[in-house]
Structure 1
Amino acid sequence: MILLTGATGRIGREVVRRFPSDLAVRILARDPGRVTGASGRAEIVQGDYSDPQSLTRALDGVRATFLVTSRIGDDDARFVRAAVAVGVRHVVKLSAAAVVDPGANDLITRWQRANEDLLRASGMEWTLLRPRSFMSNALAWADSVRAQHVVRAQYGSSPNACVDPRDVADVAVRALTEEGHAGRAYTLTGPEPITAAQQTAQLAELLGRPLRFEELGADQARAALGKRYPHDLVEALLAGAERQRAGAKARMDATVPALLGRPAGCFRVWARDHLGSFSAR
């Protein structure tokens, strides 16, 4: 039995869709009704990292699990304790590329480093997936693209080797279902660094209408992010943007094509496949 977490998020939902239908899989979700794309054989259970009993039930009989956490705090520790207690053998953990950047010391990166250390010390086998920024982050522009034909972002000329979430999901499925991935840490990027201004131009071409890119200053970005996130997370995201401006997120990695036997997906293809989100309704 393999357990999937994060099944309603950007990566987890793609893992659910790609998981082989002939393998036994259980899906843990706070709201099982939001899980989509699972095979008819999948077992979907309700649970939460803050509920130890629900974790124990979900992990019963599980040999490998895909671990996704998003709340800064102790969710990883709770999950790892429960997994060790029931004898889980292998954990595939969604982390972040920034953990290996010596210049990254923001709240989110420190949290992910601590989570990796926790897993490595657990005694279980582990695989770490360290993606660069997701191409799907561009969905944050969808409302302004539809209503105002504009993309607003910081540092429009700074490159990011962002990765298609579907590639991350394909790697996760391989790590969960194949031998040979234990003790490995995979940095996952797209095939080329791309700027927000270039993404805007590609979206405009695909939509067949002009789009304008507007550069946000630090104070404007802080105000916009502050409507969605608490202060500490806002400052972490702003620190990440500064590192991108310095070129820290432009480096490409060959892991995705090496593991999947095909090129990594590019932003143009991702945007084409999600164009409905940016089209006028």
Structure 2
Amino acid sequence: MTQTQRILVTGATGTVGRQVVAELLQRGHEVRALTRDAARAALPAGVDVIEGDLTEPGSLAPALEGVTGLHLITFGGAAFSPLETGPRILELARSAGVRRVTVLHGGGPTPLEDTVRAEDGVDWTVLMPVEFMANALEWADGIVASGEVREPFVDRLSAMVHEGDIGAVAAVALTQEGHGGQEYVITGPDVLTVGDKVKTIAAAVGRDITLVELTEEQALAQWRAAGLPEDVIGFLRETYGNTPEVGRTVSGTVERVTGRPARTFAQWAAEHTDAFQGRP
């Protein structure tokens, strides 16, 4: 049985951060969570919530006391800009006795991840999840209002991953030996089209859902009407129209690292039926 350890989770109120917290608690570890606003964190009982900001590394010093593992994100501050404070954060972590670090990949090269990869004083692991299953929550309003999902490129393929499995891989890497210097591509167990996802949600909520395929031009207009920045629109257009192989290939990482199969989209949909039925 793994010895109880104290782990600091940054980005603890985010989609992945909450799952890292939950998985560590389930495994019996002590969790300290860093957040810029402790009053709004709404984290589980038993979590030691400490205010701090990755853009101001000095604020991490109290949070790092007695910590053996550190989970990092690559963006910080109110504007979620790429963090330039990696060298100081890693210096503080080494001084505090941190032995293991995980960093959530930000979708491309970032200064903080580059700093972590160059670090030889701790065992680091880069977590590289593909599309989150939680992205399907973007369809909830349309499903509740009209029973429709309106999407372009409906035949695009995705090996989308349950956020809880990202948390599980992180928890293992933060508390067990053998994961230093690893880059883990984290996927679900299946490759799905948009139609597959819609059918799965329909089965979970017990109602018909119509998939309306948008042309590329209609999709661009919809994204712009929603206020998405042009760089985000460009990313979606490229990713949906020509999904990289890594995003549509099952990696098997979850089972190799955690010892159990990756969770399916059907499991995820069953856990989120309230959202697709208009319930709080």
Q: TM-score range by the shorter chain?
A: 0.7 to 0.9
Listed one character per residue, the Cα deviations across residues 166-207 of structure 1 (whole Å, up to 9, x for unaligned) are: 111111111111111111111111111001111111111222
For residue 33 of structure 1, the aligned residue among 34, 39, 42 is 39
TM-score using structure 1 length = 0.85
- Written as runs of structure 1 = structure 2, the 5 A alignment for 1:99-248 is 108-111=107-110, 115-123=112-120, 124-226=122-224, 227-244=226-243
For residue 46 of structure 1, the aligned residue among 34, 48, 51 is 51
Would you say the 8 A contact 2:101–2:125 is kept in 1? yes
- Runs of 5+ consecutive residues of structure 1 not aligned to the other structure: 97-107
Listed one character per residue, the Cα deviations across residues 38-61 of structure 1 (whole Å, up to 9, x for unaligned) are: 342x32111222233323333344
Question: 1:4: how far off?
Answer: 0.3
Indicate whether 1:55 and 2:52 are aligned: no
TM-score using structure 2 length = 0.85
Change (3 A) 1:235 1:34: same
- Runs of 5+ consecutive residues of structure 2 not aligned to the other structure: 1-5
Q: Report the AA paired with residue 90 of structure 1.
A: R
Change (3 A) 1:158 1:45: same
Indicate whether 1:73 and 2:76 are aligned: no
Q: What SS does the aligned partner of 1:20 have?
A: helix
Q: Report the AA paired with residue 189 of structure 1.
A: T
**1:10 & 1:260 partners in 2: Cα distance?**
20
**1:10 & 1:170 partners in 2: Cα distance?**
13
Would you say the 8 A contact 1:60–1:86 is kept in 2? no
Q: Report the AA paired with residue 190 of structure 1.
A: G
For residue 22 of structure 2, the aligned residue among 17, 21, 26 is 17
Q: What SS does the aligned partner of 2:119 have?
A: coil
RMSD: 2.3
Listed one character per residue, the Cα deviations across residues 29-79 of structure 1 (whole Å, up to 9, x for unaligned) are: 122233334342x3211122223332333334433201124466332x314
Listed one character per residue, the Cα deviations across residues 229-270 of structure 1 (whole Å, up to 9, x for unaligned) are: 4322332232222222x7552211111112222211111111
Change (3 A) 1:32 1:222: farther
Change (3 A) 1:271 1:82: same
**1:55 & 1:61 partners in 2: Cα distance?**
12
**1:117 & 1:79 partners in 2: Cα distance?**
8
**1:169 & 1:36 partners in 2: Cα distance?**
18
Question: 1:116: how far off?
Answer: 3.3
The number of residues matched between the two structures is 265
Would you say the 8 A contact 1:136–1:164 is kept in 2? yes
Would you say the 8 A contact 1:160–1:194 is kept in 2? yes
